[in-house]
């Protein structure tokens, strides 16, 4: 009889990078909750803002994402061991003593640490994302008990065609040029030439990471997880949990408030959102499926093929959730879509800038601080940065995802749901919206019941 997913982790130790990130926190919590017989979880942490790694860990474990663990199993903290280090440093900045511990103890490595800034300088992203992964791989090659290295990539690492398969594509430039580019620190103009048709420096760097793992993994078994746009949890550890404004969340909040009213995009385009708990569940399960040492397996975690969501449908669900919560500060929240850059400027002036100027004038006349134009300036930068996802549409093959989920026992399917086909958008988007209100705006949402 095959082992359950939880049994695969029993008595074994794990090393996780990126634990302080949104996905990393959910990954740590889910392993501790559903694979409670795990021996030890080593997490890479760096001191920040004058805090030690122990202080950072303590602060992180007090967040709502760990509430059910704190409530049901207070001793879970004994299984977490922080390791001082940084993926941007040589040797990950790990002490010789800690390196020996990891080499002798670790069976599974989850590498989710990365810079996710779309407009970050190319040399920074190459150092953190590409060289950082190479440093993790070098450590993995020394580990005596290692079964697999799981790397969290992005579905948008390969957008050269409308349909993306679950395989590693060639690097856009020779891997041998990475060190030189980090040292050279190319300016914006040269960066545009280097990345060519890639969406941005972030997706460019992630494509290179995948190629690096395929070329240099040696005897290390590698699994690449490609999530689409990672959004609030569907059900675990708590419905709607989110801790950042990244991706579409900032836009959703601004649309709901009635501030953002014009977006460049096509309503028929697919918005490939995926709940963070689905990504985490796939990551945990995929690691337990034995693969050949020479192999690099790829699993997409995306909804465009099995459960497509159009931009127009998303906007309608946002509008419904905003009205239910009486969330809008300005009347008649809604979004006008245009594919024209010229109309974007024209409509923005009429539908956004002018009304918000009047709203700010009213605030000023009533003795309050004007805020709407300032908010609009910041959110327009976000809108423009992710415009590539609203004016384009891709479909991602999820056949490996489908086969993996189908291979699970009914019990494991229930404990670790990750099949995109299970998602109901009319149920999930309200959960996402309410989670944004609760965990980012710190207010109580109105029940959708």
* Model pLDDT, residue 12: 97
* Model pLDDT, residue 383: 87
* Model pLDDT, residue 382: 85
Q: What domains appear along the chain, each with residue ranges and CATH number?
A: 5-227 (3.40.50.720)
Token output for 278: 């689905």
* Model pLDDT, residue 449: 52
* Model pLDDT, residue 372: 87
* Model pLDDT, residue 338: 93
Token output for 332: 């008649």
Report residues of the chain scoring pLDDT below 70: 1, 293, 448-449
* Model pLDDT, residue 48: 77
* pTM exceeding 0.85: yes
Token output for 282: 């796939």
For residues 398 and 354, give the distance between their C-alpha atoms in angstroms, rounded to a whole number. Answer: 45
* Model pLDDT, residue 370: 87
């Amino acid at each position: 009889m095959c082992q359950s997913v939880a049994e695969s982790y029993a008595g074994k130790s794990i090393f996780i990078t990126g634990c302080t990130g949104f996905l990393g926190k959910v990954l740590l919590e889910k392993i501790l909750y559903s694979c409670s017989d795990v021996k030890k979880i080593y997490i890479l942490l760096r001191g920040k803002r004058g805090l030690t790694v122990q202080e950072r860990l303590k602060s992180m474990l007090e967040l709502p994402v760990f509430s059910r663990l704190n409530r049901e199993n207070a001793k879970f903290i004994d299984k977490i061991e922080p390791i001082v280090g940084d993926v941007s440093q040589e040797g990950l900045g790990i002490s010789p003593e800690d390196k020996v511990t990891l080499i002798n103890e670790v069976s599974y490595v989850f590498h989710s640490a990365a810079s996710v800034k779309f407009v970050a300088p190319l040399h920074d992203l190459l150092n953190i994302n590409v060289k950082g992964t190479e440093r993790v791989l070098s450590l993995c090659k020394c580990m005596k008990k290692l079964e697999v290295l799981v790397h969290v990539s992005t579905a948008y690492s390969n957008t050269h065609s409308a349909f993306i398969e679950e395989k590693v594509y060639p690097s856009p430039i020779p891997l041998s040029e990475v060190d030189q580019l980090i040292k050279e620190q190319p300016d914006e103009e040269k960066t545009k030439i280097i990345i060519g048709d890639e969406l941005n420096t972030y997706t460019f760097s992630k494509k290179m990471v995948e190629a690096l793992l395929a070329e240099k993994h040696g005897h290390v078994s590698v699994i690449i997880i490609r999530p689409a746009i990672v959004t609030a949890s569907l059900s675990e550890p708590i419905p709607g949990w989110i801790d950042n404004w990244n991706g579409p969340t900032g836009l959703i909040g601004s649309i709901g408030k009635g501030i953002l009213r014009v977006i460049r995009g096509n309503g028929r385009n697919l918005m490939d959102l995926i709940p963070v708990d689905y990504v985490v569940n796939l990551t945990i399960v995929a690691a337990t499926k034995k693969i050949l040492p020479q192999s690099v397996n790829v699993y997409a975690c995306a909804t465009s093929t099995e459960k497509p969501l159009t931009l127009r449908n998303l906007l309608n669900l946002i509008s419904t959730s905003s009205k239910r919560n009486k969330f809008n500060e300005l009347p008649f929240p809604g979004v006008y879509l245009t594919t024209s850059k010229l109309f974007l400027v024209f409509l923005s002036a009429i539908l956004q800038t002018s009304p918000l100027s009047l709203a700010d004038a009213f605030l000023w006349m009533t003795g309050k601080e004007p805020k709407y134009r300032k908010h609009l300036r910041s959110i327009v930068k976000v809108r423009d940065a992710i415009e590539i996802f609203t004016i384009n549409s891709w479909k991602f093959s999820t056949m490996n995802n489908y086969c993996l989920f189908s291979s699970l026992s009914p019990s494991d399917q229930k404990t670790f749901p990750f099949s995109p086909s299970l998602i109901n958008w009319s149920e999930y988007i309200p959960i996402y919206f309410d989670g944004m209100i609760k965990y980012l705006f710190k207010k109580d949402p109105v029940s959708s019941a």
